[in-house]
């Protein structure tokens, strides 16, 4: 239990659960009134036997019973509201945390897994959190009230009842101890199965391409089996709680029957008292079963909490110190920057130092795995360096406000994401303050009018999701306009060499040149032309900068890596 | 072709009959237990007022204990069988969806959007797997309720009819509320779908969201949808409670009050015992649960139809395939691809093949010849139909018109032919590098293909070597590494034809040249590739020029450069891609 006290998810949940106090008050009221009914019924039966019962009394009994149900109904509504208000806050907080993760985080967590966590896990919480806690509370109130009522009528019976309740809880509770871990396993197996299912469905063309359909079963079946087994194991374990509760309930009935007979013979109880006592014991069944079954649900929720906490525990990229970047082209300095991915799988930077004056065009080249993409990500603050210092416009990157950074530093990645929205929303990136005329001007300035004219619906054309699909080259064009609209002082461009046809390629090169004019530009280059027209070329190998200089300088040194790369690639690179 | 709910349900029961039957028996006993208790309590309280034998008391206690023990045993059995049944059924539905997708041409558009389909596979599969378990519920409640009514009738016929009145009214009201509840439950499904898609977008495009500073945009989308879901859940709960527990308890209370009012003179006259009176109180609860169970069942039956439809949407041709028994929980599935026997390739003729995608892209009436040991390169602008042509030859699409001749054997589609293809965008599983290359095969030739696809150096750099886990979709590898892994995978397969769709797009040209050299080492290897890279186009034995979905030229580079205008244009574009400097 200790670890749940410090749970970030639990705090978020409780902090946002409106009406929690009203819910608690109503729950206490409902539990208390529920416990009054059997006594009322006992009195009625005694009156019936002695024929002193009046219709009014019966009417009151019916009304009281209806009132209890209204209270219970209100409780469940409030509990639903509270649960949703709390879990919605938790969802938003988790999403907020997720979008602040470094890119590396998504290298070890799949879409299926994260979707499952944000859905099934939190649903497990929402079903249980307020509802179960309210039920627990009501169970407690019923127990206390019942004891109170019985004490008033007969101290001895109350004492026996109290011993019974304590013993009951002591029997039921231990059966639930080991459950949290089992449910955690179950949640994990469930997410893994779902993740694999998503992956397998996406892999189908790849599986067919190499005639390996059976591999789909080989990877999926073990996950399905483990999902079945972990769920069954956890449920069976939880079921022991219900069994224990059942045994306690049965014992309670027997106990009550013996007390009733004994007291009736002794003449200290009426038939009505006897009925009331048995109904009370039955009323206690509810709380006992609650301890047994809702406790299991609560355990599942706690397991889900700790899985949410795992996400919260994963550090976000940085705290924002709010310094704004200056206007104009931005310089970039790296001093002894080191970085390794958390998986430590060999992709890293070993103490990189580099200085780029404002307005310069730098091309970074190197073989795959040389660290050039990682370098770009570090400057774009998509990953954080382990040590060393990065300065943009003279300001340490750790001090720069996120908003200013994203406004002033434009990033174009290899694979461009197109959002399922209109062309306008994709170009302005949901920034409503950019007018249509500004977009038109920018498109014209980048020489893309003819391409733009191909969108039949203009800026309102919906992209993706079965509407207008963009080719990867067109997505690149969207990204160039997107970045240009922000008027950045630094452009980081991971050049996409893939799947662009010559026509789009020409448009893209032209637009890119117009975009980067008078702006500091760092290009992770794949094209020979980019390299040739760069002011400075940086050659990387195994996470280190091995050469840098103007293209002329580097190519004139006959034994340089640059010259070798160039000699081999001259003919092939577009 | 549709599949009816009863057929579907019966098929699911046949998937694991033993758990289903055991569950049903256990469940019916569980429903019957309160009735047993009712009989015991009736005798017990009727015995008040008359001298009770000490032994009789112990009989009551013993009977009660026996009923309780049986009930508890059933509880355990229920839990085990319920989960076994549901998870087996759910797994089977999910496996069969994968299986049917594997039976379809993989490059053709899927009938259902991927993220939505995934959501259906979880929620609807769960829903559908749960449904057969409602049958014992309905049977159990009905038997218990009729037995309780018979006992009440025996005690006092008019009273039992009187007590039923509020219950009847309640049953009718419950059904009305249930309708409204179903509306909100349906809306909930829609909202859940929207939420999945939103979360999928956020997780899938997380990097772009950061780059474009869209965090607050998406967080507020999540919040807005959350508010909508909360309101819907509130309405749903309100009507659900009204149609179930609350109304039941209210009507039981009213009926109990009616009983008391009617019974007072009877009890006083000793015509009705206190135990008999209790029979009414307990019996009413048992009977009152009947409309609720039936309402839930009827509602679920309707929901079931929707869920089955949503699941079979993904396999419109053969919906019945969704419930093919697999017994996957018994032993590792040994299914192997059923290979139509294809002879070693001497010549492949593609004859007048056409295929158009939904957005109008594709190829029309394309014919070509591929001979053993040749290196054929398809070239052309983007959108000219290169990939469609390659997908058809890889058996990833079925042509809408035209056919293939494999040596002398005519076939409509190349699905299942010994062809290995490397896609433009390679797909990697979140597994080890080794698994990603082997894809289930034993990997005997692994060292050789690693060398051929130029992965040796990369693997040497990784701490765990071939056992390095590549992350979701292979994100931990670079684009070029991913392409080479996909190439290695295709090389490992014993194929007669190797198809490579623009594989060198993310490779530097040194690597590209070496790979090309490695591939061409084997004289008998037949390769069909698409590319716009000069080095590859130059190396081709035959070049096929595609424009607007049609073949506009076939021949060697020299021939084509002399005669074909499209090729001349393309060649100059790919040789000198330099755009005129602006300004």
Residue A432 lies in a domain: no
pLDDT bin (cut points 50, 70, 90) of residue A506 is confident
Residues A363 and A223 in one domain: no
Residues A45 and A104 in one domain: yes
pLDDT bin (cut points 50, 70, 90) of residue B51 is low
pLDDT in tens, B497-545: 999 988 766 666 677 778 888 888 877 889 999 988 888 888 899 999 9
Residues A63 and A175 in one domain: yes
Residues spanned by the domain of A86? 2-313
Do B257 and A380 count as a contact with CB atoms less than 8 A apart?
Answer: no
- Number of structural domains (chain A) is 2
The residues spanned by each domain of chain B are: 5-323, 347-574
Residues A126 and A13 in one domain: yes
Please name every residue paired with A363 in a beta bridge, in sequence order, or none if there are none: A523, A537
Whether A421 and chain B come into contact, CB under 8 Å, resolves to no
Q: Is the Cβ–Cβ distance between B45 and B273 less than 8 Å?
A: yes
pTM of the model: 0.75
Residue A440 has which token pair? 């038109």
**Whether the predicted pLDDT of B581 surpasses 70:** no
Residue A325 lies in a domain: no
Do B264 and A572 count as a contact with CB atoms less than 8 A apart?
Answer: no
Among A233, A232, A228, CA closest to A190: A228
Do A92 and B222 count as a contact with CB atoms less than 8 A apart?
Answer: yes
Q: Is the Cβ–Cβ distance between B30 and B74 less than 8 Å?
A: yes
Mean pLDDT of the A12-19 span: 76
Contacts of B31 (CB under 8 A, 6+ apart): B137, B140, B141, B143, B144
pLDDT in tens, B257-309: 888 888 777 777 777 788 888 888 888 888 888 877 887 788 788 888 888 88
Among A489, A321, A351, CA closest to A411: A489
**Whether the predicted pLDDT of B580 surpasses 50:** no
Residues A492 and A402 in one domain: yes
Exposure string of A477-505, with b = 16+ CB inside 10 Å and e = fewer, is: bbbbbbbbbbebbbbbbbbbbbbbbbebb
A-proximal residues of B, 71-90, CB under 8 Å: 71-72, 75-76, 79-80, 83-84, 87-88
Residues A226 and A340 in one domain: no
B-proximal residues of A, 196-255, CB under 8 Å: 197-221, 224-225, 227-228, 231-232, 235-236, 239, 242-243, 246-247, 249-250, 253-254
- What homologous superfamily does CATH list for B347-574? P-loop containing nucleotide triphosphate hydrolases (3.40.50.300)
Give the sheet arrangement for strand A544-549, strand by strand: A409-412, A490-494, A520-524, A361-366, A536-541, A544-549
pLDDT at residue B577, as a whole number: 44
Residue A99 maps to which CATH number? 1.20.1560.10
Residue B205 phi, psi dihedral angles, 5° rounding: -115, 30
pLDDT at residue B337, as a whole number: 45
Residue A204 lies in a domain: yes
Of B211, B419, B424, the CB nearest to A411: B211
CA distance B28 to B142: 10
Residue A423 lies in a domain: no
Bridging pattern class, strands B527-530 and B375-379: parallel
User: What string of DSSP letters covers A231-288?
Assistant: HHHHHHHHHHHHHHHHHHHHHHHHHHHHHHHHHHHHTS--HHHHHHHHHHHHHHHHHH
CA distance A151 to B132: 48
Residues A244 and A379 in one domain: no
Residue A463 lies in a domain: no
Residue B261 has which token pair? 């009012």
Mean pLDDT of the A195-202 span: 88
B-proximal residues of A, 459-498, CB under 8 Å: 465-466, 469, 471, 473, 482, 497-498
Whether B185 and chain A come into contact, CB under 8 Å, resolves to no
CA A480 distance to own-chain centroid: 30
A222, exposed or middle or buried, with CB in 10 Å at 0-12, 13-18, 19+?
A: middle
pLDDT at residue B79, as a whole number: 93
Dihedral, A529, A535, A539, A543 alpha carbons, nearest 10: -120
Residue A65 lies in a domain: yes
Residues A258 and A339 in one domain: no
CA distance A569 to B510: 6
User: B23, B166, B414, B577: which to substitute to probe chain A, counting the most A Cβ within 10 Å?
Assistant: B577
- For residue A252, give Cα distances in angstroms to A26, A145, A259, A279, B364: 28, 17, 10, 11, 81
Least confident piece of the model among A295-299, B104-108, B438-442, B488-492: A295-299
pLDDT bin (cut points 50, 70, 90) of residue A132 is confident
**Whether the predicted pLDDT of A67 surpasses 70:** yes
Architecture of domain B5-323: Up-down Bundle (1.20)
Residue B207 has which token pair? 């990097």
Exposure string of B169-196, with b = 16+ CB inside 10 Å and e = fewer, is: ebbebbbebbebbbebbebebebbbbbb
DSSP state of B577: -
Last residue of a domain, one of A313, A344, A361: A313
Q: How many residues does chain B have?
A: 583
pLDDT at residue A565, as a whole number: 67
Q: Indicate the average pLDDT of chain B.
A: 84
Of A345, A367, A499, the CB nearest to B476: A345
Instruction: Name the helix (H) or strand (E) containing A138.
Output: helix A122-153
CA distance B224 to A33: 38
pLDDT at residue A212, as a whole number: 84
Residues A37 and A98 in one domain: yes
CA distance A463 to B138: 49
Residue A506 has which token pair? 């020409």
**Whether the predicted pLDDT of A515 surpasses 80:** yes
Helix (H, G, I), strand (E, B) or coil at A545: strand
Residues A188 and A258 in one domain: yes
Residues A117 and A223 in one domain: yes
Q: Indicate the average pLDDT of chain A.
A: 82
Chain A residue at shortest CA distance from B201: A419
């Amino acid at each position: 239990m200790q670890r749940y006290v410090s749970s970030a998810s639990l705090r978020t949940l409780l902090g946002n659960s409106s009406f929690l106090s009203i819910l608690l008050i109503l729950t206490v009221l409902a539990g208390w009134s529920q416990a009054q009914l059997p006594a009322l019924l006992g009195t009625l039966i005694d009156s019936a036997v002695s024929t002193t019962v009046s219709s009014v009394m019966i009417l009151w009994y019916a009304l009281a019973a209806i009132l209890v149900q209204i209270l219970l109904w209100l409780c469940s509504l409030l509990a639903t509201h509270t649960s949703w208000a709390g879990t919605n806050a938790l969802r938003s907080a988790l999403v907020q945390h997720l979008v602040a993760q470094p890119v590396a985080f998504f290298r070890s967590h799949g879409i299926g897994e994260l979707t499952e966590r944000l859905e099934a896990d939190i649903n497990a919480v929402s079903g249980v959190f307020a509802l179960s806690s309210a039920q627990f509370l009501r169970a407690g109130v019923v127990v206390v009230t019942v004891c109170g009522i019985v004490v008033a009528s007969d101290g001895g019976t109350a004492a026996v009842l109290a011993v019974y309740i304590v013993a009951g809880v002591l029997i039921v509770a231990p059966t639930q101890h080991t459950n949290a871990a089992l449910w955690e396993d179950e949640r994990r197996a469930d997410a893994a199965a779902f993740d694999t299912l998503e992956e397998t469905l996406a892999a189908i063309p790849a599986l067919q391409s190499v005639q390996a359909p059976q591999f789909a079963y080989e990877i999926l079946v073990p996950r399905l089996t483990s999902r079945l087994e972990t769920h069954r194991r956890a449920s069976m374990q939880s079921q022991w709680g219900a069994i224990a509760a059942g045994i306690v309930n049965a014992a309670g009935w027997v106990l009550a029957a013996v007390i009733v007979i004994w007291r009736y013979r002794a003449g200290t109880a009426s038939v009505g008292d006897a009925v009331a006592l048995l109904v009370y014991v039955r009323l206690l069944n509810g709380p006992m079963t609650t301890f047994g079954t809702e406790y299991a649900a609560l355990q599942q929720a706690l397991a889900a909490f700790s899985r949410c906490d795992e996400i919260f525990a994963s550090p976000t990229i940085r705290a924002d110190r709010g310094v704004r970047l200056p206007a104009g082209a931005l310089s970039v300095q790296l001093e002894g920057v080191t970085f390794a991915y958390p998986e430590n799988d060999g992709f890293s930077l070993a103490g990189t130092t580099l200085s780029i004056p404002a307005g310069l065009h730098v091309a970074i080249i190197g073989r795959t795995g040389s660290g050039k993409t990682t370098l770009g990500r570090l400057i774009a603050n998509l990953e954080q360096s382990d040590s060393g210092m990065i300065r943009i416009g003279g300001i340490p990157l750790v001090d720069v406000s996120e908003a200013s950074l994203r406004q002033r530093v434009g990033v174009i990645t290899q694979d461009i994401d197109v959002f399922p929205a209109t062309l306008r929303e994709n170009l302005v990136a949901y920034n409503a303050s950019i007018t249509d005329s500004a977009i038109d001007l920018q498109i014209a300035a980048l020489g893309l009018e003819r391409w733009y004219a191909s969108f039949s619906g203009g800026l309102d054309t919906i992209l993706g999701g079965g509407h207008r699909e963009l080719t990867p080259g067109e997505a690149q064009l969207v990204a160039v306009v997107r970045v240009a609209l922000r008027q950045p002082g630094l452009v980081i461009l991971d050049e996409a060499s893939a799947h662009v046809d010559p026509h789009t390629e020409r448009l893209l090169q032209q637009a890119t040149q117009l975009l980067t004019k008078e702006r500091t530009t760092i290009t992770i280059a794949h094209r020979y032309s980019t390299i040739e027209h760069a002011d400075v070329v940086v050659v990387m190998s195994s996470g280190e900068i091995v050469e840098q200089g103007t293209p002329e300088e580097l190519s004139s040194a006959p034994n340089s890596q640059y010259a070798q790369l160039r000699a081999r690639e001259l003919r092939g690179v577009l | 072709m549709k599949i009816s709910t009863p057929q579907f349900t019966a098929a699911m029961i046949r998937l694991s009959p033993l758990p289903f039957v055991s569950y049903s028996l256990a469940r019916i006993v569980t429903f019957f237990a309160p009735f047993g208790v009712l009989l015991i309590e009736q005798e017990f309280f009727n015995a008040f007022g008359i001298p009770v034998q000490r032994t009789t008391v112990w009989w009551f206690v013993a009977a009660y204990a026996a009923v309780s023990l049986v009930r508890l045993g059933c509880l355990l059995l229920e839990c085990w069988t319920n989960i076994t049944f549901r998870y087996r059924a759910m797994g089977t539905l999910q496996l069969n969806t994968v299986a049917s997708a594997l039976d379809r041409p993989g490059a053709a558009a899927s009938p259902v959007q991927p993220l939505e389909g995934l959501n259906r596979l979880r929620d609807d599969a769960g829903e559908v797997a749960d449904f057969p378990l409602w049958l014992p519920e309905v049977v159990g409640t009905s038997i218990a309720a009729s037995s309780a009514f018979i006992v009440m009738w025996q005690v006092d016929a008019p009273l039992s009819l009187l007590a039923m009145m509020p219950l009847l009214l309640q049953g009718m009201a419950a059904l009305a509320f249930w309708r409204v509840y179903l509306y909100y439950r349906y809306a909930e499904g829609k909202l859940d779908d929207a939420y999945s898609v939103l979360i999928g977008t956020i997780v899938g495009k997380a990097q772009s969201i950061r780059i474009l500073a869209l965090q607050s945009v998406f967080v507020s989308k999540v919040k807005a949808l959350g508010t909508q879901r909360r309101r819907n859940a509130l309405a749903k709960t309100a009507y659900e409670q009204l149609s179930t527990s609350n109304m039941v308890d209210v009507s039981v209370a009213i009926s109990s009050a009616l009983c008391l009012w009617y019974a007072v003179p009877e009890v006083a006259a000793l015509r009705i015992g206190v135990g008999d009176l209790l029979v009414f109180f307990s019996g009413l609860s048992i009977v009152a649960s009947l409309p609720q169970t039936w309402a839930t069942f009827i509602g679920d039956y309707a929901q079931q139809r929707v869920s089955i439809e949503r699941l079979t949407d993904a396999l419109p041709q053969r919906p019945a395939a969704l419930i093919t028994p697999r017994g996957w929980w018994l032993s590792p599935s040994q299914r192997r691809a059923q290979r139509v026997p294809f002879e070693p390739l001497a010549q492949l003729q593609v004859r007048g093949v056409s295929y158009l995608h939904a957005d109008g892209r594709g190829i029309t009436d394309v014919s070509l010849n591929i001979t053993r040991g040749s290196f054929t390169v398809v070239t052309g602008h983007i959108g000219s139909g290169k990939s469609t042509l390659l997908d058809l030859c890889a058996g990833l699409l079925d042509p809408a018109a035209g056919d293939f001749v494999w040596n002398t054997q005519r076939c409509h589609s190349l699905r299942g032919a010994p062809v290995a293809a490397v896609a433009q965008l390679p797909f990697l599983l979140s597994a080890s590098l080794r698994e990603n290359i082997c894809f289930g095969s034993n990997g005997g030739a692994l060292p050789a293909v690693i060398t051929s696809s130029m992965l040796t150096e990369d693997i040497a750099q990784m701490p765990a070597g071939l056992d390095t886990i590549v992350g979701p979709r292979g994100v931990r590898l670079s684009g070029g590494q991913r392409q080479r892994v996909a190439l290695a995978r295709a090389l490992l397969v014993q194929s007669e034809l190797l198809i490579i769709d623009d594989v060198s797009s993310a490779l530097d040209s040194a690597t590209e040249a070496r790979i090309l050299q490695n591939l061409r080492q084997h004289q008998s290897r037949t390769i069909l590739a698409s590319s716009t890279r000069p080095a590859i186009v130059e190396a081709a034995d035959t070049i096929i020029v595609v424009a607007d979905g049609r073949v506009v030229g076939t021949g060697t580079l020299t021939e084509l450069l002399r005669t074909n205008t499209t090729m001349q244009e393309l060649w100059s574009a790919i040789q000198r891609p330099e755009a005129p400097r602006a300004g």
